[in-house]
Amino acid sequence: MAGLPKLDRIDINILAQLQQNGRLSNVDLAELVGLSPSPCLARVRRLEEAGYIVSYNARLHLSKLVDHLTVFTEVTLNDHRREDFIKFEADIRRYETLQECHLVSGGYDYLLKFVSKNVSSYQELMESILDRNIGVEKYFSYIVIKTIFDRGTVPLKSLINES
């Protein structure tokens, strides 16, 4: 975080508001955070330029569009040299159904989140990953039966105030 602009409570509020609704007009956002529109827009641009705001997206209700399967996959690598992790991480990005990839501590190396059409397409994908010989020793799959909730946002104000 060195070299990044220091955030004040207004910046944090701007980020929290945009996280909840990225379609807010600048006038509405300014009103919500207690600024006039011009300084509010300047702050948003500064936050974008500093990389705090990565993108603006629409969250889709995927199950209304298409039947799909969410699968969490634990992956353990054969070897644990730096180059093995680099190779895996560089290659695994190629799969568009992979939504998240996390290097984790514990009994395995990576936790992956896939969104796939069905079980057979997920299995084909995993076979393709294994065939690429990118160092996967073993994997375990967990098919999501039902998503109880997905917040889609992080509790920014709580996280920042706790630190």
pLDDT of amino acid 111:
98
Q: What is the model's pTM? A: 0.85
Strand pairing partners for 95? Answer: none
Q: How confident is the model at residue 74 (pLDDT cuts 50, 70, 90)?
A: very high
Please tell me the chain's helix, strand, coil percentages from 3-state DSSP, rounded to the nearest 5: 40, 20, 40
Q: Residues with Cβ < 8 Å from 75, sequence gap 6 or more? A: 88, 108, 109, 110, 111, 112, 136, 138, 139
Q: Could you give the CA distance from residue 102 to residue 116 in angstroms, rounded to a whole number? A: 18
pLDDT of amino acid 2:
61
pLDDT tens for 101-155 read 999 999 999 999 999 999 999 999 999 999 999 999 999 999 999 999 998 888 9
pLDDT of amino acid 125:
97
Average pLDDT, the chain: 94
pLDDT tens for 11-30 read 999 999 999 999 999 999 99
